[in-house]
Amino acid sequence: MRILKPLERPLPKPTTEDYINAKLFESLVEAGLALWFLNEGLVRNAAGKAFQAWRAFLAALLRLELNKLLQVARDDEERNWLANRAVPRIPTTRMVKLSQMLEEVGHYGISAWTAVTLELHDYQYNGPDQTWQ
């Protein structure tokens, strides 16, 4: 398959501009897979792919806005964490905080979409909420 060729190359370093393009491409591929899974009736798999698409998008946006984020960071420890841990890994447990930081630098509404995406992540692993039945 031709589309898989770019995916076979190693991911660029998070310190380079190519990282943004790679993560945006990953986000599009994951979103496409989410739609395909959904059309096939694989709802929990689709939820997982939608989560991965958003996570890759956040990685690209965090890298794009890294200089602004470093300016709003509280201290050197947070700046170091942003540059060396947050951007390359996007820890699931810190996605809300990272989204809030992106809102601080002008990306309004990111936190709401992150909250929805985290619900999809929970649904992927746990299925529908049994208290609704």
pLDDT for the residue 1: 44
Does the predicted model carry a pTM greater than 0.85?
A: yes
User: Look-up: residue for tokens 């809300």?
Assistant: 96
The model's pLDDT over 14-57, given as tens digits with 9 standing for 90+, comes to 877 889 999 999 999 999 999 999 999 999 999 999 999 999 99
Residue ranges per structural domain of the chain: 17-126
Tell me how many degrees the CA angle 85-23-125 measures, rounded to the nearest 5: 75
pLDDT at 93 exceeding the cut of 80: yes
pLDDT at 97 exceeding the cut of 80: yes
20 and 64 Cβ atoms separated by less than 8 Å: yes
73 and 132 Cβ atoms separated by less than 8 Å: no
| 112-to-1, 87, 102 alpha-carbon distances in Å | 36, 20, 12
